[in-house]
A and B are shown apart, each in its own frame.
Chain A
Amino acid sequence: MRSFIQEIRSRVTGIPIQAWVLGFLVAAAIERLVGDTIAVPLGLGTVPRLFGVRHMVKSPLLIPNTIVYLLVIYFVPISVMAWLTRPLIKRLPSRLSMPLLLVALYGAIHVWGGLDEYRILVLQFIFISILLTVSLNLVNGYMGEFSCASGGFMAVGAYVASVLTVWGFVHDDVFGPPVLPPALGPFAFPIALIVGGLGSALAALLVAIPSFRTRGDYLAVISLAVTFIVKSTFENLEVIGGPRGFMNQPRWASLPVVFVWTLVGVWMMRNYVSSILGKGATGIRDDETAAEVMTVNTRRIKVVTFMLSAFWTGIAGGLFAHVMGYINPATFGIMKTAECFAMLYMGGLNSITGSIVGAVFYQFMAEALRPLGIVKWMTIPVIVFAFMLRRPWGLISFREFGFLRKEVGRAPASD
């Protein structure tokens, strides 16, 4: 029995990720085609929007039916497709495997999300969370500092980008009529996001400069202070709505836009941590004096890592603002930072893969448990606790899987 399980396990782990994604794409397509015809006889009413978790939480009696639905729509097609496409994908030249993955991935989320607005919103939040988590990982994971400033940096990015787009393209009470022709909108949006990111990278200097002289708990307190400074600043800026918030952002952060930004962000941050330059951060984490003596310019690495991290946190904030079309300072308080921590530490430190898994898992859980209402905010911490007890280092830490691992030059020596 045991060897049987191991056999299954080794076969399953041998399947490349592209095959799974293709399988999911097919499953999503099947759901779009025949989802209703299967869901209605099973008593589920409509197609379950988040894998039936809501149905199961709301009325436990429907659990068997939901499981049948999941088996028919997801499990069987995914397994069959993964199994069938596996040999094809293994024969694929390696330079095609990445484009295939991206196309399949986008196809999968497009088809799956196409069912309704709600799924798209969940996907947008998941991608934004991936950006947030990976960027926080640079500082809290790779560099081993404990920054609590995610909320603050996100706020800077969100507000700066929002002010730019609203001032440029929206008829607003404060900023008046749009300054720029609306045709420029799609081109100006990336610029607004980048300016927002740069703004939050500048704010990161407030943490980076003290980090030359202090670290650990003390730096954590400083970064927490930065979050509060930023939040209070926006609360007191009446021009942009003060505590009431700021609205009318054009909803430009559509699913493909968010997808592309997340992809670029994760790619860049992965490149950074795989380069010798970025590994200096891990050198600082493990032994700063040794790093400095081994010619690592620790100050430069600190500034670069803090600013890069804040830049992408700011971009995530800008995207968030243009998904919601409304932001207020309270959104970016300590709760947001805590959420980033949950995703990061549950997913695992020093691992891009871990951050992605953590972000997806947490966001999915947060959405799926929504019917629990206020009890959700007691359930999620318990789940996080349970995870941390089982895996104190997070789900995947200090290693990367497959395409997120970067090999330079020669392959690892075998011994």
Chain B
Amino acid sequence: MPLLQIKSLTHWFGGLRAVHDFHENLEGGEVVGLIGPNGAGKTTIFNLICGIYRPTEGEILFNGESLVGRSPHEITSKGIGRTFQKLRLWRHLSVLDTVKLAFSSGLNYSLVDALLWTRRCREREEEIEERTYELLETFGLTKYANARAWDIPYGLQRRVEMARAMALEPKLLLLDEPTVGMSLREMYETMDLIRRIKEEFDLTIIVIEHRMKVIMDLCERIKAIDFGEIIADGTPDEIRENPRVIEAYLGKEEF
């Protein structure tokens, strides 16, 4: 059974069709790239998977379970982590608290435990803190644990977002332009990091990216979309040669 199965997904924003008949069968362990010009509907597809929007039509199955109509926290706690294209960090939380908060679905203590700070609550909080520090270590953020997430350099903020997404123990990781705004060096570091966490946490990844270098190096398979529709699907080499992809990116050749 595929890990993620999307069938004839269509989404309308009022009179605008953002996604049209999108489909995908994602096997566990794959790294799939999602490319397309700005406004092609890439991020919308992520938002549809996470339940931020409810699709107008279509079906999304994760491990055979339908996700449509569920609220985002239910969907993501099944094991879908994501990062955002425009950083969405919490302004007033430290890096440590930011990552901790992503453990929310697994708190397993009640409100009363929290109010009375019972042993059960304390032990769980300590456990989560321990694991958060492990994650921070993996992402090279230990030093910044007590800094506000908004105050640290941009490249590190991107890593905080990834660390936060990893705190949900995802099986599927959705990366929305993980290297946008980065220098070349940071870009290579990020690519290494993505490869490393993929191995370490046994992840399946969908990555949206405009930098072809990143897409071509990381992905085994690429889907190109334009105006919400799939225009190509194949290995990096196939996509590179595909006339429709070239057209979408560079325009039609005029004779």
A→B interface (CB under 8 Å):
268, 271-272, 274-280, 282-283, 285-287, 289-299, 304, 308, 350, 398, 408-410, 412-413, 415
13 intermolecular pairs with C-beta atoms under 8 Å apart: A276-B107, A276-B125, A276-B128, A277-B104, A283-B90, A283-B101, A290-B89, A292-B73, A294-B76, A304-B111, A308-B111, A408-B129, A410-B133
Bound form: Cα–Cα A280–B92 in Å: 12
Bound form: Cα–Cα A278–B121 in Å: 12
Knowing A271-B114, A408-B125, say if A297 contacts B73 (CB, 8 Å): yes
Bound form: Cα–Cα A272–B128 in Å: 16
- B111 and A296 contact, CB distance less than 8 A: no
Pick the 3 closest A-B CB pairs, nearest first.
A295-B105, A286-B90, A290-B88
Residues of B within 8 A of A297 (CB): 73, 104-105
Knowing A286-B93, A410-B133, A413-B146, say if A294 contacts B164 (CB, 8 Å): yes
Report A236 CB to chain B, min CB distance, Å: 35
Knowing A291-B101, A297-B104, A408-B126, say if A271 contacts B116 (CB, 8 Å): yes
Residues of B within 8 A of A350 (CB): 92
Q: Which of the listed residues A291, A296, A398, A408 has the most CB atoms from chain B within 10 Å of its own CB?
A: A408
B155 at the interface (CB under 8 A from A): no
B71 at the interface (CB under 8 A from A): yes
Partner of B125, one of A275, A290, A413: A275
Partner of B90, one of A272, A282, A304, A415: A282
Please give 15 more A-B residue pairs, beta carbons under 8 A apart, in addition to A285-B92, A294-B168, A412-B145. Answer: A271-B114, A272-B114, A275-B114, A276-B103, A276-B128, A278-B114, A282-B90, A282-B92, A286-B93, A289-B88, A292-B73, A295-B77, A297-B104, A299-B71, A409-B129
Q: Which of the listed residues A277, A289, A293, A297 has the most CB atoms from chain B within 10 Å of its own CB?
A: A293
- Number of cross-chain contacts by CB at 8 Å: 118
- A276 and B142 contact, CB distance less than 8 A: no
In the complex, how many residues of chain B place their beta carbon closer than 8 angstroms to a beta carbon of chain A? 46
B72 at the interface (CB under 8 A from A): yes
Contacts of B117-172 to chain A: CB distance below 8 A? 117, 121-122, 125-126, 128-130, 133, 142-146, 164-165, 167-168
* Closest partner residue, chain B, to A269 (CB atom): B115
Bound form: Cα–Cα A297–B102 in Å: 11
Residues of B within 8 A of A293 (CB): 50, 52, 72-73, 76, 82
- A409 and B130 contact, CB distance less than 8 A: yes
Bound form: Cα–Cα A388–B38 in Å: 44
- B72 and A276 contact, CB distance less than 8 A: no
Residues of A within 8 A of B77 (CB): 295
Partner of B97, one of A279, A299, A410, A413: A279
Bound form: Cα–Cα A276–B121 in Å: 10
* Closest partner residue, chain B, to A267 (CB atom): B117
Residues of B within 8 A of A289 (CB): 52, 72, 88
Report A178 CB to chain B, min CB distance, Å: 33
- B114 and A292 contact, CB distance less than 8 A: no
Residues of B within 8 A of A409 (CB): 125-126, 129-130
Bound form: Cα–Cα A285–B164 in Å: 18
- B143 and A286 contact, CB distance less than 8 A: no
- B91 and A268 contact, CB distance less than 8 A: no
- B145 and A296 contact, CB distance less than 8 A: no
Interface 0/1 of B30-74, CB less than 8 Å to A: 000000000000000000001010000000000000000001110
Residues of B within 8 A of A290 (CB): 84, 88-90
Knowing A292-B73, A413-B143, A415-B143, say if A268 contacts B116 (CB, 8 Å): yes
Residues of A within 8 A of B20 (CB): none
* Closest partner residue, chain A, to B128 (CB atom): A276
Bound form: Cα–Cα A295–B145 in Å: 21
B223 at the interface (CB under 8 A from A): no
Partner of B93, one of A272, A275, A277, A283: A283
- A295 and B76 contact, CB distance less than 8 A: yes
Bound form: Cα–Cα A290–B101 in Å: 11
Residues of B within 8 A of A282 (CB): 90, 92-93, 97
